[in-house]
Chain A
Amino acid sequence: MPNDFGRSRYRLLDFHNRRRLWQLGGIGLAIVCVIGLFAWAAGWLSPGRLTQERMIAAFTKANGLHSGFRYNHAKGVCVAGYFESNGKGAALSKAVVFRLGRTPVFGRFALAGGDPYMADVSGAVRSMALDFELTDGEVWRTGMNDIPVFVVRTPKGFYEQLLATRPDPRTGKPDPARIRAFLAGHPETVRAKQVIAAHPFSSGFANSIFNSLNAFRFIAPDGTVRAVRWSMVPEDAFEPDTPAAAQKQDRNYLFDTLIDRIHDGPVRWHLVVTVAGQGDTIDDATIPWPASRPHIDMGTLVLTSVSGEGHGRCRDINFDPLILPAGIAPSDDPILSARSAAYSRSFTLREAEKKKPSAVRVATSGKGE
């Protein structure tokens, strides 16, 4: 193409050429539009949206900032052992972990709440998080609680509850009026709390039932999809949670009892899977399923060692409940994705923070991990 006018076609700013200025302006506008779309996708144009950042900020508001610790379930201890599958789950899910055989496991017991130095008290929600290292290199992670149903239905409900129950700076205790207002707007939480109150707490971690709460989907080898929830049901017999006077003196009595129990010998749970029936609510963890639903005992979790967070494998791990092997898929429960997102943000933040020692100390037992 010849160069007309003897002037370079590459000359950008030519104030006598109005058409060129309009064209440059148009190109600038196109770029601004792309940046605008990007900002919209980032959520920068919707300050009212509930984001990962705001969720984490609510945790900090409720619990203060504790450098290096999880923003929730902050106080915990590492455990390790294995899962012995009895093969009964293989018909329900094609996940390798359910074939007959043994899968190495490590995990973490913790108390719900963002204060890593909280005293062990009866009534505190206990959790069990597990990482299954499948033989084909896949990983299954699950975080379970010792309550039968979850207290909120949506991420927004969780956020509001967190803010409603945060301690009032004047009294150091939650403001009852704020809690009343929250409950008034969340009848599902009131119902869930009644279900939880009907289930007595056990005396320790080792005889607690831990529940997945949220539903998942099992994909069978033939492609059949079933909605399920799972529980870890202890072999140790139930005893009511009535701490002795000496235990009440020990701020770590739940953890110390667990550590002693594991040092005494392996602790066992059965992985019991409940299959949803017609009409059961899949996407709402506040609603229990009828007790008549089929329960399948798929194998035994055997925990053989315990170690402090500084030495165990469980601290620098994100027990994201959506790290699932082929054969297990998420349900449409909105809490699941929000847990995955918030755990991820919490993990990234705490890995960058200076680590401090856990309140839970484990004396060397010689058994190691």
Chain B
Amino acid sequence: MVGTSRFPALSRLLHWLMAAMVLVMLFIGIAMVSSLGDYHRLIAIHKPLGIAIFVLVAIRFINRLLNRPPPLPADMPGWQRFAAHGSHVVLYVLLFVLPLVGWGMLSAGGYPIQLYGALHLPPILPHNATLYTVLRTTHTVLAFLLFATFLLHFGAALMHALIFRDGVFQSMASVRVGRRR
């Protein structure tokens, strides 16, 4: 393998930071919708964390355009390449759309969009019961889809690390500075 074989350090940092945030987010999300006693504590983290992910995914997308990821190994079969690219597109879209749907859903429900203390965001949609209902359901469906895509991503990463041993896992998991192996 020649040329760049690792993700740029900034890309790796953003990836692992967001990985932790998104996992925490998914678990908080599923826990809070059934919880009574912990509901408030959880939702008080869920909202600002969601907006933070929204901002970070925008930064990450720009970073991806500026610092291209290393190419996949040449001998990787076509269907695996397709699955890799496809799942990354789905991940990016979900990470961008889920917080936006959450923001829109709170707007449509007539809720203030509180982040921390007096810091809040303006509504992005009109207050409307039908709109709220549609977005509230969409938020749940997309969250489950994100969890499923994460599982796929997690499984594929382990396969690259343990079975294929093709350097794809290392290209993201390496802690070294620089892009060359």
**Residue ranges of A at the interface with B (Cβ–Cβ < 8 Å):** 1, 3, 8-10, 12, 20, 23-24, 26-28, 30-31, 34-35, 37-38, 41-43, 49-53, 55, 96, 136-139, 155, 316-318, 322-323, 325-326, 330, 334, 336-338, 340-342, 344-345, 347-348, 351-352, 355
Contacts and interface: CB of A to CB of B under 8 A. Distances in A.
A37 B28 CA distance: 12
Contact of A35 (B1, B75, B151, B159): B151
Contacts of A28: 155
Contacts of B132: 316, 348, 351
B133 interface: yes
B86 interface: no
Contacts of B164: 9-10
B37 A337 contact: yes
A347 B166 contact: no
Contact of B39 (A34, A41, A138, A337): A337
B30 interface: yes
Given A23-B162, A348-B136, A334 B151 contact: no
B165 A9 contact: yes
A85 B129 CA distance: 32
29 contacts: A1-B1, A1-B165, A3-B75, A9-B164, A10-B75, A10-B77, A10-B80, A12-B159, A24-B159, A27-B158, A27-B159, A30-B155, A31-B155, A35-B151, A137-B120, A138-B112, A138-B118, A139-B112, A317-B110, A318-B109, A325-B118, A326-B117, A330-B40, A340-B39, A341-B35, A347-B109, A351-B129, A351-B133, A355-B129
Contact of A337 (B41, B77, B147, B167): B41
Nearest to B44: A322
Contacts, number: 131
A41 B147 CA distance: 13
Nearest to B112: A139
B163 A23 contact: yes
Nearest to A35: B151
Contacts of B155: 27-28, 30-31
B36 A316 contact: no
A20 B151 CA distance: 20
Given A24-B163, A325-B118, 6 more contacts: A9-B165, A12-B159, A12-B163, A41-B27, A322-B40, A323-B114
Contacts of A345: 33
B37 A53 contact: no
A79 to B, nearest CB: 16
A138 B110 CA distance: 12
Nearest to B116: A326
A341 B43 CA distance: 10
B3 interface: no
B154 interface: yes
A326 B109 CA distance: 21
B66 interface: no
Nearest to A28: B155
Contact of B110 (A42, A316, A322, A341): A316
